[in-house]
Amino acid sequence: MQPLISAMYKVRQAFIAAIVRSLLRTKSVLQTILNIWISPTILKGEHVDRNGGQREGKMYSEFLREVEREFKSSRETSSLVALSDGLRLQFGESLLDNPMNMLPSYNHQLPTGDERGTFLALDVGGSTFRISLIELSGQKREGFETSILKLDSYKITQDVKKLKGVLFFDWMAERMGETLAGQNEGHDMSKPPLSMGMSWSFPIEQTSLRSGLLLGMGKGFLAAHGLIGQDLGDIIQESCSRKGLNVRLNAIVNDSSATLLSKAYLDQTTRFALILGTGVNAAVHLPVHIFSSPKFGERPASWHEEAKHVIVNTELSMFGGGILPYTRWDRELLSVHPRPEFQPLEHFVSGGYLGEIVRLVLIEGIQTAGLLGGVIPPGLEKEYSLETETLSLMECDPSPTLTKALEVFLSRHPTTHTPSHADLQAIRLIASQVAYRASGVLAAGTHGLWQLRNEAEGISPSDSSHTLVAYNGSVLENYPNFRSSCQRQLDSLVEASGGERGSVELVYAEESSLLGAAVAVACVGG
């Protein structure tokens, strides 16, 4: 072997041995990279000037340290406590006069668990429209309380998102026509209409159980265009009539409230729900006395006589402006966002944004510190081109070789420069920093709401009973370690405020949007 090749061979051997040793010692990912960092070009067997390689390596490791530093402050319990307190104050202010969030629904009673019947449930999410026939059999049929008899899922493509005004609702009615095709129910006008409930993953100002005024929509939807302030129930009912559907929309609920209802159907102690997928939100069952009266709009006196508590769509996504732990990459994201002030907390935590924050960090790393050999994979310079799902899959790979992570990255971002092992580690490190911060911010939001409810009910944290927080959504369900990190940080926050560790528990609510929509209709007597 020539001396240079032999030296390179030794370097590579030493590198692999170092990885194995380092992994065995289960050091932090960053430490692993820093301790064994070696220029990606050396890994590929290319000749690099020794000093140049070292300089490049230093820049690379410095950059990763810098990333860790930027995200570090949000990891400390004291920062999370401060964030939770700040959010708690903002929630309190909104209970008095904010028309955009802390929106009381009409649901003042939680389900009893005895509701029964077959209902059509609609779930309008951030990227899919799902239509399902659901049978509720009541709690006495343990294990068979709910059955999904039929389920169709329609992708909401970018083109559909861009449909303005009634065009979007006509598209929905057409899809419902497809699902109900071949079934007498829903078409035969001589029969009573099929009773329907809808879970709506956007803000809405409820005006009854079956109606609500359309408010501004996030997630890139243009459906509210020209319709803001109009009755969502009527708009949908009219689109269905135009398509000859014999259906009646009897309940509309936000997806966070649907999640709460679906879990409360099975466990009546549920008072909280969290959604974290493309968007983020929370619903809470709160006493009515903490709201200012204008927040209820015009409601019949009978509603006020009966309602002691109400399910509140908090629109958690809209809080946190000015108090969230912004980094330069968050500010960069906001600088080109069409509505930077609309949903500050969503920008930190939701699946719609995690990928974009990581992409911005990565691009800076590529351009300034030689990540990915200094080559931006074609297309990755485009906003929102790095999906949160890609990172979730890359972080899932448990193998020391990261073969799966490499496969996932290349299948979505083919590039001439094959990412080295260190590159993959770096991407995973950045993603884990961004995701961990998100889980902490979500924990702080949940804790702030828990504190708000304790205060409203006059309960001290130490006396608060075991609290279930029903959760759903792709990030909480699928992003590796997200739920457990969120739970751990929530435990620390509960403990810091005098409560018992573990007393606020995140519990999975399966198919909560659809089931909650069905429960909502059943609660109004179908």
**Binding residues for ligand BGC (CB under 6 A):** 126, 201-203, 218-219, 254-256, 275, 279-281, 315, 317, 343, 346
Instruction: Pick the closer one to ligand BGC by CB: 218 or 373.
Output: 218
DSSP character string of 209-254: TTEEEE----TT--TTTTTTTSBHHHHHHHHHHHTT--EEEEEEEE
- Return the number of the residue (120 or 224) whose C-beta is nearest ligand BGC: 224
Using the minimum distance from each CB to ligand BGC, give the nearer residue, 433 or 512.
512
From the list 175, 75, 89, the residue with the least C-alpha distance to 124 is: 175
Contacts of 42 (CB under 8 A, 6+ apart): 8, 11, 12, 48, 53
Question: At residue 518, what is the residue type?
Answer: A
- Sole residue written with tokens 């408010």: 215
User: Which residue's CB is nearer to ligand BGC, number 133 or number 217?
Assistant: 217
Cβ contacts of 230 within 8 Å, gap of 6 or more: 213, 214
By residue count, the chain amounts to 526
Between residues 341 and 457, which has the closer beta carbon with respect to ligand BGC? 341
What are the C-alpha distances in Å from 92 to residues 286, 451, 455?
12, 11, 11
The minimum distance between CB 313 and ligand BGC, in angstroms, equals 7
End-to-end CA distance of the chain: 82
> C-beta of 455: minimal distance to ligand BGC in Å?
24
User: Helix 512-523 crosses helix 255-266 at what angle (to 10 degrees)?
Assistant: 80
- Residue 200 or 450 with smaller CB distance to ligand BGC: 200
- Residue 167 Cβ vs ligand BGC, minimum distance, rounded to whole Å: 21
- Cα distances from 447 to residues 82, 183, 343, 499, in angstroms, run 11, 47, 19, 11
Pairwise CA distance, residues 154 & 133, whole Å = 15
- The answer to whether 285 and 271 are in contact (CB under 8 A) is yes
Which of residues 132 and 201 has its CB atom nearest to ligand BGC in the complex? 201
Query: To the nearest whole angstrom, how small is the minimum distance from the Cβ of residue 343 to ligand BGC?
Result: 6
Nearest distance, CB of residue 253 and ligand BGC, angstroms: 10
Rank residues 275 and 366 by Cβ distance to ligand BGC and give the closer one. 275
Residue with tokens 């946190």: 320
| Helix H or strand E segment including 495 | helix 482-496
Supply the minimum distance, in Å, between the C-beta of residue 214 and ligand BGC.
12
Nearer to ligand BGC, 216 or 498 (CB): 216
Write down the least CB distance from residue 155 to ligand BGC, Å.
16
Token digits of residue 392: 């979730």
**Between 450 and 471, CB nearer to ligand BGC:** 471
Structural element, H or E, at residue 330? helix 328-335
| H or E element in which residue 468 lies | strand 467-472
Give the shortest CB-284-to-ligand BGC separation in angstroms.
Answer: 13
- Smallest distance, Å, CB 219 to ligand BGC? 6
CB 474 within 8 A of CB 221: no
- Between 297 and 414, name the residue whose CB sits nearer to ligand BGC: 297
- How far, in Å, CA of 139 to CA of 115, rounded? 8
Q: Are strands 504-508 and 467-472 parallel, antiparallel or unpaired?
A: parallel
Shortest distance (Å) from residue 136 CB to ligand BGC: 23
Smallest separation (angstroms) from ligand BGC to the CB of 280: 6
